[in-house]
Amino acid sequence: MALLDILRYPDPRLHKIATPVTEFGTERLRTLVADMADTMYDAPGVGLAASQVDVHEQVVTIDVTEAQDDLMVFINPEITWSSDERAVYDEGCLSVPGVYDGVERPSRVKVRAFDLEGKEFTVDADGLLAVCIQHEMDHLKGKVFVEYLSPLKRNRIKAKLQKEERGLAREAAQRGARR
């Protein structure tokens, strides 16, 4: 399968709202999920939303196991219940490399979604899985976890990543000029 390019914050495409998947069981959907899984594992990460790879459809891959051997695929996910109890977890994001910060979310959620063939299922999640599901579903709504942080932190992160991006672009241009 192919490794996909992950959009980096503050890319405006990360704020596009994903549309529901309407055709299940297609080769295109299978390929997208396989490529997303390969990209997520390679990064390495525990979750990836299609929005992060510039495919604005409601598709999420998650694997929170240490062995990376339990891939979960959520298509058109919907949180049907969340606990009143909240917890703060240090979150990171493949679209915001090197940045981790505390985000408060419901500590438990119930999610309804569809698999690759369009079969509906539900998952009761807590701990890291609950955090990951909520984080990835935010991407489908066009929201990046840094938006939960203070404007000061968010602006610092944006400036840092933009500076890194300019440095990477300069290096690539210099390599191209040497050829």
DSSP letter assigned to residue 78 = E
Q: How many CB atoms lie within 10 A of CB 50?
A: 24
With beta carbons less than 8 A apart as the criterion, state whether 144 and 96 touch. yes
Q: Which of 127, 151, 135 is nearest to 94 (CA)?
A: 135
Helix (H) or strand (E) holding 120: strand 120-126
Q: Which of 136, 147, 164, 171 is catalytic?
A: 136
139 is in an annotated binding site: yes
Query: What tokens were used for 42?
Result: 């390679």
Helix (H) or strand (E) holding 155: helix 151-178
- Which one-letter amino acid corresponds to residue 161? L
Q: Is 136 a catalytic residue?
A: yes
Q: Which residues pair with 75 in a beta bridge?
A: 59, 114
15 is in an annotated binding site: no
Query: What tokens were used for 64?
Result: 């929170």
Cis peptide bond prior to 44, omega within 30° of 0:
yes
Q: Which residues pair with 47 in a beta bridge?
A: 62
Active-site positions read 136
Q: Which residues belong to the annotated binding site for Fe cation?
A: 93, 135, 139
